[in-house]
Structure 1
Amino acid sequence: MQCTQEKSINNDSRGPAYAGSASCVSCHKDLSESAVHNSHFNASKMLTGSADSLHIPDGDFIFNEKTKMLVRNRADGLYQSAIINGIDKKTERTDMVFGAGNRAYTFAFWYGNQLMQMPLNYLTKEHQWVNSPGFPEEQIYFGRPIVARCLDCHSSFADVNLVQGDNFSIKEEYVKNSIIAGIDCERCHGPAAEHVNFHQENPTVKTANAMVSYKKLALTQRVDVCGVCHSGAGIQTLSSTFNFKPGDTLKILPQYSAYRGEDPDVHGKQKQLLEASACYKVGKAECISCHDVHEQQKPTMAIYSAKCISCHQDVKHETLKEKNKAILANNCVDCHMPIKESHAIDFQISNSKKKIPYKLRTHRIAIYKDLVKGK
């Protein structure tokens, strides 16, 4: 397909080096159409009207006999209300949603130029409204700011101003119209204005100009592009990770801690867990070995297992009982990348102190002896 769209004025808040994802569509239509449905593109979204597209029900959450939260879908948006002794003490409308909805949604509202986390999260698999992680168990809390470090991984850009608050504190305020929600093309592929301009002027040239080729990057560089977000919130930086581009390495980020043999939490630390895997250490597995971020639908267990078997054709599984060997061709993952509980995140359920653990699949590919014994 030729690049034939006319040049347009660049309004991208990241600056003139960026073309905006809409510029990618004319040449990369299929990739663009599938990408807008995947988890990365939907890592966050601005909510300016009805929440019908999220398929989130109304709900109540009881803290105690005097205190509860109401969640209501209205024509103009999704609202959370604090009810104390039957009186509506505070109601806020959702302005931003975090998460693609595979497991959960987190919600935020504007308080001036700050983004504040709303009291309740929604768990999509459990179909349940829950108290946001780390929030008080007995009272409603609207006071947690969503800091820039959150947007570093859940958006493609946000312009932040540091403002002096009370008692010499510093608070982060956003330039509202600067936020580019979700992970767009240029967040992963780097600024593309030069690339777009070249191919608009030279539509017959099919070799990509002025873009970094992932295939030509070293293994560590390819993994680090994913790792800039999938290394957890523990990365400490002096500036935003929005400046990270393909070809950079995480070692350029101040205070980045490389894997040193620990057992990282399953939430957000996929890179460290992968680095602990023999498959990665011998250079046979990286993020894109199993994940295509352009795909709309996730592969099945059988497809993932075929990727494993392509390298492990001679494995005998001698300790596995004969009756369980039928699963081998269709599901390597549950045994070698089991689902584990996060120690960093859990969710309090309504009218109870009980908490639901946040469960994720570990990316440490290994032989788990406790699972072998269970077979």
Structure 2
Amino acid sequence: MIVGVLLLTAGAIAAGLVTGRHHTEAVRADNAAGDTACLSCHQQQASYESTAHRLTSRLPTRDAILASFRPGENVLRTVNPRLYYRMDSTATGFYETAVMGRAPDTSIYSQRIAYVTGLRKGQSFLYLVGDRLYQLPVSYWTGIGWANSPGYPDGRPNFDRPIRPRCLECHATGFQSITDPNAVNRYRSDNAILGITCETCHGSGRAHVARERSLLRWLGPRAIINPARLPRMRQLDGCALCHNGTAPLRTAPFAHVPGQPVEKRFDLSSAPDTGAIDVHGNQVALLERSKCFRSSQMTCATCHDVHRQQRDVVELSGRCLTCHAVQSCGLFPQHGQGLIGRCVDCHMPLLPSNTIMASSLGRRLQPQVRTHWIKVYGPGGR
């Protein structure tokens, strides 16, 4: 009897490990283990749950939404005196409402927030009409407040921007598209995997969890990817999924398998000239232009620990000093040890994004994004 159980268990594990051995499947609802299962063994990585990657898409709650819905703080005026937006929190959810016309002859159009995207620099909000997903016209910009969503014209109500799968791919681990030649934004929202979860980088984990919980866990491969053990360029490819610009896709969205070359996913031959790369979303391409990258074996993980929040530029500047002596800086004669902690601000300055822009009451809004082209900059980041 015991032998029979062991044989059945071994067979089940072997079946589950076929995928794990070759890592041929992208993460889906039916093969994902979920972060809770991962953390049951890897408690040392629990800090990941509060990072911007993990929280880049969520269901709307008071904790998830950074903006205020309090009266007096929940209205966005526009350049059109006959249009303003009101953001409301009710017992049934969070809403964005366009109020058009002049009292008493006003009309309203309202939609309930289904998902929150973004965290640190700001948030945008998505809504569903049936199975079709759209972006709402008002976003939250950190340090500014409510503002028109990027690319939306100020003063014209617009609730019609469809959310394409490629947009979701960098804000979620999984969304199942519904094929429709007449629509690009149909999804099965009941099995969405929100946020960038462990399995985005480590691969689908259900087979791995089954193996580790088995009596025969010592048999066969571990059915999981450890990015740190991949060759250098394959490590970079994992980050390039979302941090390598806007090259056209070769495959369907949400088909990424950790460890595969990024060229399998993207047509890099039609990527924009590197001289015109914008600082938003092109960190890998910019890093690859850097002398630091070309003259070493550095990867994104040389400076970034993806499992925890890193916002301290002094700490990050310390990574530079593992290779560079502060005395080698051309400004050392003037500033001496005062340069310690300033490497990042000088050699990776914050620059305005030219791809993410918005306007609000005549103001042009551009988020400041830290460039990853490491070099000597002149005044104003030139």
Q: TM-score, normalised by structure 2?
A: 0.84
Closer/same/farther in 2, CA of residues 57 and 320 from structure 1, 3 Å limit? same
**Deviation digits for residues 329-368 of structure 1, max 9, x if unmatched?**
112101000000111112212xx22212121000111111
Q: Offset at 1:312?
A: 0.6
Matches within 5 A, 1:113-152: 113-126=131-144, 128-152=145-169
Matches within 5 A, 1:188-267: 188-202=201-215, 209-232=222-245, 234-257=246-269, 261-267=274-280
Question: Does residue 92 of the first structure (1) align with residue 101 of the second (2)?
Answer: no
Higher alpha-carbon deviation: 197-206 or 325-334:
197-206
Higher alpha-carbon deviation: 128-137 or 150-159:
128-137
Question: Is 1:17–1:193's contact at 8 Å kept on the other side of the alignment?
Answer: yes
Find the partner of 1:60 among 75, 96, 109.
75
Name structure 1 gaps, 5 residues minimum. 1-6
- Higher helix content, 1 or 2: 2
Closer/same/farther in 2, CA of residues 259 and 311 from structure 1, 3 Å limit? farther
Which of the pair has the greater relative contact order for Cα pairs under 8 Å at 6+ separation? 2
Find the partner of 2:322 among 299, 310, 320.
310
User: Structure 2 CA distance, aligned partners of 1:292 and 1:262?
Assistant: 28
User: Structure 2 CA distance, aligned partners of 1:304 and 1:77?
Assistant: 39
Question: Is 2:165–2:253's contact at 8 Å kept on the other side of the alignment?
Answer: no
User: Structure 2 CA distance, aligned partners of 1:272 and 1:153?
Assistant: 17
**Deviation digits for residues 271-312 of structure 1, max 9, x if unmatched?**
1111111111123421111111111x3152222111101101
User: Structure 1 CA distance, aligned partners of 2:341 and 2:35?
Assistant: 37
Question: Is 1:320–1:372's contact at 8 Å kept on the other side of the alignment?
Answer: no
User: Structure 1 CA distance, aligned partners of 2:107 and 2:302?
Assistant: 51
**Deviation digits for residues 204-251 of structure 1, max 9, x if unmatched?**
86998122232331111001101111112x121143342222211111
User: Structure 2 CA distance, aligned partners of 1:52 and 1:264?
Assistant: 35
Name the residue aligned to 1:73. 89
Which amino acid in the other structure matches residue 97 of structure 2?
S
Closer/same/farther in 2, CA of residues 214 and 202 from structure 1, 3 Å limit? farther
Which amino acid in the other structure matches residue 89 of structure 2?
N
Which amino acid in the other structure matches residue 163 of structure 2?
I
Number of residues of Structure 1 aligned to a counterpart in Structure 2: 350
Name structure 2 gaps, 5 residues minimum. 1-11, 17-25
Name the residue aligned to 1:158. 175
Question: Does residue 369 of the first structure (1) align with residue 378 of the second (2)?
Answer: yes
Question: Is 1:263–1:273's contact at 8 Å kept on the other side of the alignment?
Answer: no
**Deviation digits for residues 245-273 of structure 1, max 9, x if unmatched?**
22111111242346864241111111111
User: Structure 1 CA distance, aligned partners of 2:249 and 2:357?
Assistant: 26
**SS of alignment partner, residue 84 of structure 1:** strand
Name the residue aligned to 2:356. 345
User: Structure 1 CA distance, aligned partners of 2:311 and 2:155?
Assistant: 41
Which amino acid in the other structure matches residue 334 of structure 1?
D
User: Structure 1 CA distance, aligned partners of 2:27 and 2:322?
Assistant: 44
Find the partner of 2:366 among 349, 352, 357.
357
Which amino acid in the other structure matches residue 230 of structure 1?
H
User: Structure 2 CA distance, aligned partners of 1:44 and 1:217?
Assistant: 27
User: Structure 1 CA distance, aligned partners of 2:164 and 2:148?
Assistant: 19
Name the residue aligned to 2:6. none
Name the residue aligned to 1:4. none
Name the residue aligned to 2:340. 329
What's the % identity of the aligned pairs?
29
Question: Is 2:58–2:194's contact at 8 Å kept on the other side of the alignment?
Answer: yes
Higher alpha-carbon deviation: 117-126 or 151-160:
117-126
Name the residue aligned to 2:7. none
Closer/same/farther in 2, CA of residues 363 and 207 from structure 1, 3 Å limit? farther
Name the residue aligned to 2:198. 185
Name the residue aligned to 2:293. 280
User: Structure 2 CA distance, aligned partners of 1:370 and 1:320?
Assistant: 18
Q: Offset at 1:171?
A: 3.2
Question: Is 2:164–2:185's contact at 8 Å kept on the other side of the alignment?
Answer: yes
Question: Is 1:72–1:79's contact at 8 Å kept on the other side of the alignment?
Answer: yes
